[in-house]
Amino acid sequence: MSWDIPVSEDFIRKVRGGVRRRRLIRRVTAAAAVLIAAGAVTTVHDRSQQPPPVVAPAIGEVLDGYRITWLPDGTVRTGPDSAFHEEGAKPVFQLRSRRFDRGTGRSLWISVMRPGSNATTAQVRAWAVTDAKPVNTFPAPAGNAELLAHAGTETTTYLAVITTPDGVVITVEATGWFTAAEVESVARGIDG
């Protein structure tokens, strides 16, 4: 006995769209888990170690159209920018990210996420925030900003999320070696 159930093209299109969305969400979740795990691993180091000597930060660099005008003392750029976009389909969002270090395991990331035709700014912002708790809101030259915290068992890490007037989401995320004030100051120093 066989089952012949008529299925419309619209139904098939919606199922395929849902599968693509779920795959993208899994990829974004995996990437966020890696970043969170990297932050958790670096927090086990002894905090009594002295920070490395102060090095002048690279001020005025542009990341995907946004200028970075302030970095904490001793923070230097490490390597080329990272980029993400979904191949073969319209991207849900495009991501460009830059990493800065202030010694081993003391990292800060600045990311610019541009929503594609399949996502809204609110969705991209929600993916960036995940389970972080709000600390405060503040104005930034690039747009409206919010400081959030990820409270762990050993340390708390901070994340600043800026939503620009044209719908771009910019994040500043750091390991536990950076204070809330430093993360907020970096966000206040980003302009478009």
Instruction: Give per-residue pLDDT as tens, 74-125.
Output: 999 988 888 887 655 565 788 899 999 998 889 999 999 998 877 889 988 9
Only one residue has tokens 């159209």, namely 65
Query: How many distinct structural domains can be found in the chain?
Result: 1
Residues of the chain with pLDDT under 70: 1-3, 37-60, 86-91
Domain that holds residue 139: 9-191
1 domain residue, yes or no = no
Instruction: Report the pLDDT value the prediction gives residue 15, as an integer from 0 to 100.
Output: 76
Sign of CA dihedral 175, 181, 187, 189: negative
120 domain residue, yes or no = yes
Q: What contacts 55, CB < 8 A, 6 or more positions away?
A: 73, 74, 75, 76
152 domain residue, yes or no = yes
140 domain residue, yes or no = yes
Question: Given phi > 0 = left and psi -120 to 50 = alpha, else beta, which region is 103?
Answer: left
Instruction: Report the pLDDT value the prediction gives residue 53, as an integer from 0 to 100.
Output: 40
CATH of residue 172's domain is 3.40.1000
125 domain residue, yes or no = yes
96 domain residue, yes or no = yes
Q: Report if pTM > 0.85.
A: no
Mean pLDDT for the chain?
82
Q: How far apart are CA 49 and CA 27, in angstroms?
A: 35
Environment class of 19 (CB within 10 Å of its CB; exposed 0-12, middle 13-18, buried 19+) = exposed
